[in-house]
Amino acid sequence: MQTHDGDRCPDESLDPQNWEAFRQLAHGALDEAISYVQQVRETPVWQPVPENVKHRLKEPLPLTPQGIENTYCDFRELILPYPTGNIHPRFWGWVHGTGLATGILSEMLSAAMNSNCGGRDHGALYVERTVIDWCRHIIGYPSEASGVLVSGTSMGSVIGLAVARNARAGCDVRAEGIRCAPKALVTYASKEAHSSVGKALELLGLGHASLRKIAVDEKRAIRPEALLEAIKEDRQAGREPFCVVGCAGTVNTGAIDDLAALAKICRDERLWFHVDGAFGALCALSDSLRPLIRGIELSDSIAFDFHKWLYVQYDAGCVLVRDRQLHSNAFATRPDYLRHLDRGLAGGGEWFTDFGPELSRSFRALKVWFALKEHGTRRFGEMIEKNCRQARYLARLIEADPRLELLAEPTLNIVCFRYRPPGANGEDVDQLNRDIVADLQERGMAAPSTTRLNGKVAIRVAIVNHRSRREDFDLLARSVVEVGNQRTSG
C-alpha cells in the first residue's frame, strides 16, 4: 500500500495552527462585538461607505492566505463602521428588526455546531420542531399543523402558495406543471398587499396578473364585499379562484384585514386562505393587540418573520400549514442517497427538506429558541405594545406641529407623515420630504424611510425596534421640522 501519493502535508487542515492565538483574537473580537451593540446609541445611525473604502473592498480574488489577524483588521476598518443601521435606537426604515444582543451568543454557538437542518437525526431538528410547536401555539394552529423555518416571509409565502397551488389546481402540478390545470388560477389580496405576494406568484408560474388587487376601506383593509364581487366575476369569466391572501400588517401603514371575515369567505367559497403576517402576526403575543388579528388561526397557511417583531438576527422566518399532508405532498422527494433509515443518523422523524425547496438548511431555530426562552413571550408582547404606543406618541407629536401633516393614523407601529411648508406645491413637497429623510440619514441622526400614500411622498416610520425611547421620537419630530425649515428658508 502506497501511503504518500504525493501529499505534502497529508494531515493539514484549515484549523488554526495556533489555537491559543486564535482564541485570543476571538475574545478580542467578541469584546468588540458586544461593545458595538452596547454603545450603539452613541454612534451615527448610518453613514455612507466612503469612496476609498469601497475601492479597497473591491479587492482582487485572494490567492494566498492573508491570515485571520489581517482579515479581521480589514473587517474592523472596512466593514464594521458601515452597518445597515437597524441595530440603532433611531432606525425606523422599511420593516427592519433590531436584533438582540444575545443573538451574538446564539449565532456563535450555531456556527460552532454547524448543523445541517435539512434532515437526519440530531439535536438541531428537535429544536426546530419545538420552535414550530411554539409558533403553532402562538398563532393558534392545531397541533397537527406542519411548519418549517425559512429565510423570511417572502420565502414563506412562496411555500404557502405552492402548497395551495398544488392542492387546488385540479391536476398533478408537481408532475405536469401548471399547464395541466383546467382553468386559470386566480389569487386575491388587497391593493395594500406586499409585493412579495406578486413575486411569489411569478416564481410559481402563475404570473402576477393572476393576482386581483382588491379595493380597501378607509383603514386600508380589504373590502370583503369587493372581494366577493371579484370572485364572482372571475368564476363567470371561466377562471378558477383558488386563494385569498390576508394582510396582518401592511407594509405601508400597518393595516390589518378582517381575517375572520376572510376566513369565512374562504370557507364558503372553498378557497385557500394564506396570511402574510410578516410583522403583524406577532401581535398574537399581546393580549391587547391580539383581537386585531382575530381569525388568523383559521387560515390554511401563514408566513411571518422572527427577524422583525421578535427582533432576532437575520434571517429567520416561519411558514405554518394547517394540512401537514398537503404541505408534504408539495415538497417531499427522497432519492436513494437521502433514504430514510430506521436508526442511525439517517433516522429520526420527518425531515424538513420535505417541507420546502431547501435541502441544506442552517440552524436558524437556535436563535429563535434562545430569544423565546431568554425573554419569554410576554416580554416580547410588551415590546410590541411599546412600539405601537410609540407610534401613537409620534402621531400626537406630528398633529401638535402645524408644519407636520399626519398622512395615516397608525393602526400598529407605522406612522406616515410629511413636512408641509405653507404654499408649496405637490411635487416640491414630495422632493422636499425625500430630501429631509436623506438629510437625517446622512447626518446619522435617524433613519426613517419613504413611501407614497394617496399620491403623496410620506416620511415613513416603522417601529420594530426594542431600543427606541420616547426621546428618540421627540428628536425625530424636532429634526424633521428643523431640516424642513432650513431647506425652505433659503
Judged by CB under 8 A, the chain residues 320 through 349 that form the site for a second copy are: 331, 333, 335-339, 341-347
Residue 246 DSSP one-character state: E
The grid coordinates of residue 327 equal 404541505
The answer to whether 249 touches 412, Cβ cutoff 8 Å, is yes
Identify which of 357, 354, 245 has the alpha carbon closest to the alpha carbon of residue 301.
245
Q: Is 427 in the site for a second copy (CB under 8 A)?
A: no
d(CA 270, CA 311) in angstroms, rounded, equals 36
Exactly one of 189, 398, 467, 481 binds a second copy (CB under 8 A); which one?
Answer: 467
Q: Is 275 in the site for a second copy (CB under 8 A)?
A: no
Peptide bond into 11 cis (omega under 30): no
Residues between 126 and 185 with contacts to a second copy, criterion CB under 8 A: 126-127, 129-130, 133-134, 137-138, 151-155, 158, 162, 165, 172-181, 184
Exactly one of 114, 143, 236, 489 binds a second copy (CB under 8 A); which one?
Answer: 114
Stated as kind and residue range, the H or E segment containing 317 is: strand 317-321
Let me know the angle formed at the C-alpha of 290 by 284 and 291, rounded to the nearest 5 degrees.
Answer: 155
Residues between 348 and 407 with contacts to a second copy, criterion CB under 8 A: 357-363, 366, 370, 372-379, 382-383, 386, 389, 392-393, 396-397, 400
CB nearer to a second copy: give 137 or 232. 137
Pairing label, strands 317-321, 404-408: unpaired
Provide the minimum distance between the beta carbon of 463 and a second copy in the complex, in angstroms, as a whole number. 13
Segment contacting a second copy by CB under 8 A, of 231-239, 318-326, 444-452, 478-486: 444-452
Residues between 31 and 60 with contacts to a second copy, criterion CB under 8 A: 31, 33-34, 36-38, 46, 48-49, 53-54, 57-60
Q: Is 311 in the site for a second copy (CB under 8 A)?
A: yes
Residue 327 one-letter amino acid: H
Angle between the N-to-C axes of helices 365-400 and 103-113, in degrees from 0 to 180, rounded to the nearest 10: 150
Classify burial at 316, counting beta carbons within 10 Å of its beta carbon; exposed 0-12, middle 13-18, buried 19 or more: buried
Q: Is 16 in the site for a second copy (CB under 8 A)?
A: yes
Q: Is 267 in the site for a second copy (CB under 8 A)?
A: no
Residues 6+ apart with CB under 8 A from 245: 157, 161, 187, 188, 189, 193, 197, 274, 275, 276
d(CA 402, CA 433) in angstroms, rounded, equals 16
Q: Is 62 in the site for a second copy (CB under 8 A)?
A: yes
CB nearer to a second copy: give 215 or 359. 359
**CA-based R_g, the chain, Å:** 25
d(CA 133, CA 17) in angstroms, rounded, equals 43
Q: Is 237 in the site for a second copy (CB under 8 A)?
A: no
Provide the minimum distance between the beta carbon of 267 and a second copy in the complex, in angstroms, as a whole number. 26
Residues 6+ apart with CB under 8 A from 280: 247, 248, 249, 254, 256, 292, 293, 304, 412
Half-sphere exposure of 345 toward its Cβ, with a 13 Å CA cutoff?
Answer: 6
Each residue 193-212 as x (binds a second copy by CB under 8 A) or -, in order, gives -xxx-xxxxxxxxxxxxx--
Q: Is 94 in the site for a second copy (CB under 8 A)?
A: yes
Residues touching a second copy: how many (CB under 8 A)? 199
Exactly one of 72, 421, 475, 482 binds a second copy (CB under 8 A); which one?
Answer: 72
Q: Is 26 in the site for a second copy (CB under 8 A)?
A: yes
CB nearer to a second copy: give 225 or 374. 374
Segment contacting a second copy by CB under 8 A, of 110-118, 139-147, 295-303, 417-425: 110-118
CB nearer to a second copy: give 109 or 215. 109
Segment contacting a second copy by CB under 8 A, of 63-71, 230-238, 403-411, 479-487: 63-71
CB nearer to a second copy: give 227 or 365. 365
Cα 230 from chain centroid (whole Å): 30
Exactly one of 368, 466, 481, 483 binds a second copy (CB under 8 A); which one?
Answer: 466
